[in-house]
C-alpha cells in the first residue's frame, strides 16, 4: 500500500483538513474497480498513462480477457509511478478518453472507502 495513513471510516465521521482526492495515492482495490468497467478501452488508457506499445502488446498476449488486460495496464502504471500514482492523474486520463462515468465511480469509491488522515486527527 502506498499510502500508509489510509483508514476506513464510517459515514458519520467528519473529516477535516484531508487532502483533495486527486492528490491521494491509488490503491489496489481502485485498480480492480476500474478494470471491471474499462472493457475495450484498456489499450487507450494504457497509452494515455504512457505505457509503451510493446508493453501493451505483451499484456494483450498474456491473457484473452479484457478485464485482466485493464488490470495489468493499471498495475504496470501503478508500479512504475509508485507513491506518485495519484487518483487525479488516473481520473484525468479517464476523462480525456470520454470515460467520465468510470472517473466518477472511482471518485465515489475513494470518498466512501479511503480517507487520508493526519496523525493528530486519528
- Model pLDDT for residues 20-60, shown as the tens digit of each residue: 788 888 999 999 999 999 999 999 999 999 999 999 999 99
Task: Give the model confidence (pLDDT) of 85-109 as tens digits.
Answer: 999 999 999 999 999 999 999 999 9
Spell out a b/e string for 74-86, using b for 16 or more CB atoms within 10 Å of the CB, else e: bbbbbeebeeebb
Residue 74: pLDDT band (50, 70, 90) is: very high
What region, left, alpha or beta, does residue 66 occupy, with left being phi > 0 and alpha being psi -120 to 50 degrees?
alpha
More confident residue, 6 or 87: 87
Please state which CATH number belongs to domain 28-114.
1.10.533.10
Give me the residue spans of the domains in the chain: 28-114
Average pLDDT over residues 57-82: 95
Amino acid at each position: 500500500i502506498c499510502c500508509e495513513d489510509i483508514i476506513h471510516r464510517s459515514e458519520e465521521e467528519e473529516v477535516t483538513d484531508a487532502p483533495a482526492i486527486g492528490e491521494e495515492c491509488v490503491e489496489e482495490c481502485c485498480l480492480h474497480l476500474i478494470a471491471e468497467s474499462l472493457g475495450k478501452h484498456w489499450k487507450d488508457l494504457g497509452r494515455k498513462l504512457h505505457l509503451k506499445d510493446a508493453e501493451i502488446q505483451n499484456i494483450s498476449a498474456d491473457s484473452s480477457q479484457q478485464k485482466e488486460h485493464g488490470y495489468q495496464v493499471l498495475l504496470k502504471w501503478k508500479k512504475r509511478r509508485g507513491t506518485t500514482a495519484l487518483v487525479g492523474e488516473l481520473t484525468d486520463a479517464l476523462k480525456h478518453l470520454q470515460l467520465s462515468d468510470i472517473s466518477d465511480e472511482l471518485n465515489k469509491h475513494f470518498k466512501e472507502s479511503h480517507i487520508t488522515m493526519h496523525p493528530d486527527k486519528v
